Structure 1
Amino acid sequence: MSPPSRPDIPRAVWVTRAEPGASATAARVTAAGLAPLVMPLLETVDLPEAAAALGGDGPLAFTSANGVRAFARLSPRRSGPVYVVGPATAAAAQVAGFADIRSGAGDVEALAARILADAPPGEVLHASAREPAGDLAGRLQASGQPARRAAVYAARETSLAGAGLEEALAAPVVLAYSPRAGRILARLLAPLPARPAVLGLSPACLAPLAGLDLPARAAPDRPLESDLINLLASFR
């Protein structure tokens, strides 16, 4: 979508994304000529109990780089086709040692369409967050493709306090990366007399903020970080 005109926005940008992605985002924000303030709203933790559910020899599917990294720590399996939601997840899969990587076009629906078009044999295993953004396995099952989901990591809220949080809340622009982060942001921003503009990776990330009076809110047409950074760069 075309961003609103905000020529008065200064250079500071609050990056709310969890590590290790936050540092990569900060580098992209810096390359866009802006000053990132990294204070994640969420942190990821592996779910070791999931290891027993990761067997099989069917295709794997990942809807986040965090899912790839958690799976790789919990399972030695690296064979077979791996379906990923977009470029960042594909890069994580390559680093983890997967060879046959097949990418969707940036969201769960596009990834489901890619898998269904291939009609791979066997049961697709979606290694996901405990609270995934979309029901990939359900979408595949509804179309006749055997699939199941295994939660390999969870996102938990970070402890935010002190001068760092005050600085982040004073930033004129915030980047939101998930609906859950959007809910936390809504809670933090609600009592502020002056609120920032919020750019979300997708409209779903912005939905929890719908009741707040913000100077601006926007999401790119595709849920890709490259598009979000381009939106940010044109938002100034």
Structure 2
Amino acid sequence: MHPPRRVPLPVLLTRPLADAEALAAQLRAEGVERVVISPLLRIVAFGDLPALTGGLIFTSVNAVEAFAALGGRRGLPAWVVGPRTAAAAEAAGCEVQGVAPDAATLVLTIPADAPPLTHLRGDVQRGDLAADLTARGLKAVSQVIYRAEAQALSPDAVEVIAAGPVLAPLYSPRSAALLFEAVPGDRYDRILAICLSRAVADACPVPPLAVSDRPDGPAMMQTIRNNLHPRAVEGPGPTV
């Protein structure tokens, strides 16, 4: 009999599609054999952009993509959260001035002599970044340019949950609530949630498997990585 081989659990990704695909690529590089993408939120840009002449703030790739979809002006300075958002902002023609791991840090690192700032965001947010910057003495406003519309779980997602257990990285209280609302209560224990923050964990009706030490992408990825192998299976293992 061959010794047990540690096999990563399947992973269910419910983030908006662009975010889910980026995370899926990282997970496959970690050896995850089955990644199921089933976005519970669809990002829809809407409305008209205001006259933007100062600096921009982006706290997600979704906001940058909405800005670009609405014909955002190129060449404006931008301060952003996370390296993926920075890369998206540069691709959209922005001149990235600063990158922070989270919104709270970004508030503290934008220089006092920054131009008037507009935080381009979605219709649901936690906290008020523009208000926090105003409290520091900067000129800042926010503008909603996209909404996140709820979607049903895909058939593949329903199947992988039914087979269970499945790891489910959760990045927002809303996505956590939507996932558990879509699953019968007697299947909650098949979802091993890994939460970005305590606020996300609090939105889960059962305790999560793990909560990230910090609410940022690298810390969350490390938490996922630490929990990919909660079981071992019989098998010959890879050949070398």
TM-score computed with the length of structure 1 as normaliser: 0.84
Unaligned runs of 5+ in 2: 230-240
SS at match of 1:199: strand
What is the Cα-based RMSD across aligned positions, in Å? 2.2
Q: Percent identity?
A: 31
How far apart in 1 are the matches of 2:84 and 2:120? 16
State the Cα distance separating 1:234 from its structure 2 match.
1.4
Q: State which of 104, 110, 113 in structure 1 corresponds to 2:105.
A: 110
Cα offset, 1:220, TM superposition: 2.1
Deviations 1:105-125 (A, max 9, x none): x2211111112xx11343210
1:153-183 Cα deviation digits (max 9, x unpaired) = 1101112354542324534211112121011
Structure 1 counterpart of 2:68, from 64, 72, 82:
72
Query: In the alignment, is the contact (CA less than 8 A) between 1:14 and 1:171 conserved in 2?
Result: no
Contact 1:26 / 1:36 at 8 angstroms: preserved in 2?
A: yes
Corresponding residue of 1:191: 185
- On the 8 A contact 1:14/1:36 being kept in 2, the answer is yes
Residue 3 (structure 1) aligns with: none
- Seen in structure 2, the aligned counterparts of structure 1 residues 217 and 11 have a Cα distance that, compared at 3 Å, is closer
1:148-227 equivalent positions in 2, closer than 5 A: 148-160=141-153, 162=155, 164-168=157-161, 170-189=164-183, 191-193=185-187, 194-209=189-204, 211-212=205-206, 214=207, 216-227=208-219
1:59 to 55, 58, 63: 55
Q: How many residues align?
A: 221
Q: Which runs of 5+ in 1 are unaligned?
A: 1-6
Alpha-carbon offset, residue 227 of structure 1: 2.5
| Alpha-carbon spacing, 1:120–1:165, altered in 2? closer, same or farther (3 Å) | farther
Q: Is the 8 A contact 1:39 1:168 kept in 2?
A: no
Which SS does the other structure have where 1:192 is aligned? helix
Shift of 1:11: 2.0
Label 1:121 to 1:29 Cα distance change in 2 as closer, same or farther (>3 A).
closer
CA contact (8 A) 2:196 2:216 kept: yes
Q: Determine which structure has more spread, i.e. the larger CA radius of gyration.
A: 2
User: Contact 2:56–2:119 (CA<8 Å) still a contact in 1?
Assistant: yes
Amino acid at match of 2:178: I
SS in 2 for 1:40: coil
C-alpha distance in structure 2 between counterparts of 1:233 and 1:102, whole Å: 28
For residues 75-98 of structure 1, what are the alpha-carbon distances to aligned partners after superposition, in whole Å with 9 as ceiling and x for unaligned?
A: 331223200011121111122122
Distance 1:180 1:9 in 2: 30
Q: TM-score, normalised by structure 2?
A: 0.83
Is the alpha carbon distance of 1:69 and 1:17 closer, same or farther for their aligned partners in structure 2, counting shifts above 3 Å? same
2-side partners of 1:204 and 1:91: how far apart? 27
TM-superposed deviation, 1:138: 1.2
